[in-house]
Structure 1
Amino acid sequence: MLKLFAHIGIRQAKNIAKLILGYPVSYPSLGSMTLDKDDVIIARSWLKDRPDWNNNELVSEYEKQFALWNGSKYAFAFMGGRVALSACIHALDLNSGDEVIIPGYTCVVVPNAFQFAGIKPVYSDIELETYGLDASLIEDKITQNTKAVMLHHLYGLVCRDYEQIINIARKHNLKVIEDCAHSTGAEYKGIKVGNYGDAAFYSSEQSKIFTTIQGGIAVTNNDVIAEKMREYYNQAPIPDDIWIDKQLNNVIFNYYAFKHPQRWLLGDIARLKYSRKQLISTTHEEECGIQPVHYGRKMSSPIAAIGINQLKKIDHYNSIRRKNALRWDEWCNEKKYKKPVVIDNSVPVYLRYPVMVEQQKKINTSWASKELGVQAGVWFMSNIHPADRPVNGCPNADKAVKQCINFPGLLK
């Protein structure tokens, strides 16, 4: 605690100096930017009223509302996108010894979910227009053990080879999982992504399109697959009261630390109050490929209440993201950088705006705050972010690791 006090003292002294000199004291955050005071009110209300924490009715309502909004027949709410992926794996009858083709440019929790089930992830390279799987390389990866392909819509873009990937999978009788963790609300041909494959998962982790701090949803439009998802869902435990308490307190903390207009000051006050209750999105265990003891849980009512409130605002915030992307379009044009590709008939949501820059500009991103008044995100710093696991034969992914930065989609 003394160390925390010292860090805060130094930071606030610097902030006061910045105020005196007329410099900005905070920048747009890269996460939790859809949290508002109404979410804080809901979190505080649930912290005061605990008897209904394990009542599943509100979770069912959240699932129903998400399915309706997303255009999906079935939706199941879990405590993480990674857990929702595990539900998809179970629902598709993927078994130990099977292989699944996935992008060689992803988050560590994705291959973990497969490996926890005894399934071998086979990495395939991406294209550098939308950072999705390159369809032209997939068939070379297919073996007699391949049972599925997992495509992703990264940074809120609809992946360039969406239809081709699905067609290849159908040709080889493979299941399709859609990773929509970055792209909740993005559309292709008037239908939201996640509804073209066999199953899909979404994330409401604190850095995503909408947030419940931690959370995820699995969807499908297939009755048989839905029954298997429900089977996984029914055996999943609800988080204990200690975890729910922490998550609700993190809603309050994240609002003051990352969203409030005076977060430069109130964020540090919140750190003093909530430091012992902060949750880590990806633990050291997960980075090492070890399944955490709290893995595999379904959502609780208090968190579903936050999700329902976030769902009311998601279209509004996605509209703002698209408007803000125009600023980054102009910057790319001015600086002669290639803009990310928006494929025909698609509507992106720009969780972040990815750009390939010189390697040095990714190594040291201080130029972004000085020149543009924003922090540049550095997703991904490794092929299997944030773990330093080797991935061979994915040169485009390697290049993106070295050069891709990403600007925030929400600027205030």
Structure 2
Amino acid sequence: MSNARSMTLDWDDVKVAKEWLSKSPCWEDGKVVSQYETEFARWNGSKYAFAFMAARVGLSACIYALDLQPEDEVILPAYTCVVVPNALEWAGVKTVYCDIELDTYGLDVTQIESKITPKTRAILLQHLYGVVCRDYQAIIDLAKRHGLKVIEDCAHSTGAEYKGRKVGNFGDVAVYSSEKTKMFNTIQGGVAVTNDDQLGKRLREYSEQAPYPDQALVERQLNNIPLEFYQFKHPQSWWLGDAYYIFHGSQVIFTTSNQEKQGIRPDKYGRKMPAPIAALGLNQLKKLDYYIQCRRQNSKIWELWCQENGYKKPVVVDDAVSAYLRYPVLVEPEIKQQVQWWGFKKFNVSVGDWFTNNIYLSPKQIKGFKNADIAVKQCINFPTLNQTCKFPDS
């Protein structure tokens, strides 16, 4: 289990990408996108689904659907990625941070009520690392008592389940990611869902108003499929990856721009998904259950390691089935400080240090959140897929 990204890519994805590179006149074929949205909604158990070029754009669509206005307040975890507060702040919404719990790294329900004001309109909860958040039901119940909407950030947790349903179906709206480090991979991509008819209508309005990305970006994204495959998934990536990168490395897509890291809205933000990326999504979707099972099986390796070495395992709440994008564990701060070297020396794998700041990828610092600060200093994450995990007949 050597890397954190592109482990769900197979030869069939490379084939899909190459086929679509030769069909540029069809890149704005809405039928393919509708097929993907319909299939994702069916697979996820949601009534409506709309596909965008990133989950952060899906979040912007959800903000629009909920009719959040400037100066409205949304409560969100003080342990999240910069793209989440960006989407809120670019809509003029005030972000109100709240501490997390350290069982699953989700919002701590006991800390939320003190953050609610007359301007609070919604709570944004997250299922981080593919682990269903500990206070899921309690947060839903609290929101209902206060008349607040719930946005579910499922970017890490596509396929995780609670009470027999996929996460994302208990709040009002939810977003999922198919970015190259996530549960399934279209290099960049995201889906927004809802089960509410009025919110579904609003999401559709946002989607219909959103432009497609320019052809140069679509072409580059398609070229990133073989680039990522040869670099990370191919069984001989140790030499083919370098060789392929020499000729095609200039095509690499960095999914969070420097502008976004600084909180600046990029000019080409807000694009909906075109047909070639939706075709990749359809191909990935048919393999998603298989790869989730691989992740769950591999997570048992790290669970056993925790048991044998005295580390706390992430909590799986009653009626939950986690998906395990990664396997998060709190370790000594000195281990996290050298986690890459430590991981290769001890396990010969790349162990992640995601969230070296409360707001991942942001230079901004937010202080005063005890558990979030502990997670920043001590939470590492183990990989749950490797090159040997290969979808049959792909």
**TM-score, normalised with respect to structure 1:** 0.93
Take 1:233 and 1:135, find their aligned partners in 2: how far apart are those partners? Answer: 33
Take 1:261 and 1:293, find their aligned partners in 2: how far apart are those partners? Answer: 38
Is residue 2:374 matched to residue 1:394?
Answer: no
Matched residue type, 2:150:
V
1:173 pairs with one of 147, 153, 156: 147
Displacement after TM superposition at 1:388 (Å): 2.4
Match of 1:210 in 2: 184
Match of 2:90 in 1: 116
Matched residue type, 2:136:
Y
Query: What are the equivalent positions in structure 2 for 1:317-356 lying under 5 Å apart?
Result: 317-356=291-330
- How far does the alpha carbon of each residue in 1:182-208 deviate from its partner, in whole angstroms, 9 at most, with x for none? 000000000000000000000000000
Matched residue type, 2:353:
V
Match of 2:240 in 1: 266
- How far does the alpha carbon of each residue in 1:374-394 deviate from its partner, in whole angstroms, 9 at most, with x for none? 111011110000112121321
1:384 pairs with one of 347, 359, 363: 359
Displacement after TM superposition at 1:65 (Å): 0.2
Q: Does the residue aligned with 1:150 lie in a helix, a strand or coil?
A: strand
Take 2:254 and 2:377, find their aligned partners in 1: how far apart are those partners? Answer: 25
1:305 pairs with one of 259, 275, 279: 279
Take 1:244 and 1:48, find their aligned partners in 2: how far apart are those partners? Answer: 12
Take 1:367 and 1:230, find their aligned partners in 2: how far apart are those partners? Answer: 47
CA contact (8 A) 2:262 2:363 kept: no
The more displaced of 64-73 and 360-369 is 360-369
- How far does the alpha carbon of each residue in 1:18-75 deviate from its partner, in whole angstroms, 9 at most, with x for none? xxxxxxxxx6210110000000001011112222111111000000000000000000
1:99 pairs with one of 68, 73, 86: 73
Is residue 2:43 matched to residue 1:43?
Answer: no
Is residue 2:197 matched to residue 1:223?
Answer: yes
CA contact (8 A) 1:257 1:266 kept: yes
Pairs aligned (count): 386
In structure 1, stretches of 5+ residues that fail to align are 1-26
**TM-score, normalised with respect to structure 2:** 0.97
Identity across aligned pairs (percent)?
57
Take 2:87 and 2:248, find their aligned partners in 1: how far apart are those partners? Answer: 30
Displacement after TM superposition at 1:373 (Å): 1.6
Q: Does the residue aligned with 2:317 lie in a helix, a strand or coil?
A: coil
Q: For the pair shown, which has the larger CA radius of gyration, 1 or 2?
A: 1
Is residue 2:32 matched to residue 1:58?
Answer: yes
Take 1:349 and 1:388, find their aligned partners in 2: how far apart are those partners? Answer: 30
Matched residue type, 2:121:
K
Q: Does the residue aligned with 1:218 lie in a helix, a strand or coil?
A: strand
Take 2:262 and 2:365, find their aligned partners in 1: how far apart are those partners? Answer: 13
Match of 1:162 in 2: 136
Displacement after TM superposition at 1:276 (Å): 2.0
Take 1:276 and 1:135, find their aligned partners in 2: how far apart are those partners? Answer: 45
Match of 1:241 in 2: 215
CA contact (8 A) 1:324 1:411 kept: no
Take 1:50 and 1:283, find their aligned partners in 2: how far apart are those partners? Answer: 26
In structure 2, stretches of 5+ residues that fail to align are 388-394
Displacement after TM superposition at 1:367 (Å): 1.7
Take 1:389 and 1:127, find their aligned partners in 2: how far apart are those partners? Answer: 22
Take 1:152 and 1:124, find their aligned partners in 2: how far apart are those partners? Answer: 12
The more displaced of 364-373 and 235-244 is 364-373
CA contact (8 A) 1:328 1:353 kept: yes
Is residue 2:154 matched to residue 1:145?
Answer: no
Matched residue type, 1:49:
K
Q: Does the residue aligned with 2:26 lie in a helix, a strand or coil?
A: coil
Query: What are the equivalent positions in structure 2 for 1:181-192 lying under 5 Å apart?
Result: 181-192=155-166
Q: Does the residue aligned with 1:138 lie in a helix, a strand or coil?
A: helix
Q: Does the residue aligned with 1:341 lie in a helix, a strand or coil?
A: coil
Match of 2:42 in 1: 68
Q: Does the residue aligned with 1:213 lie in a helix, a strand or coil?
A: coil
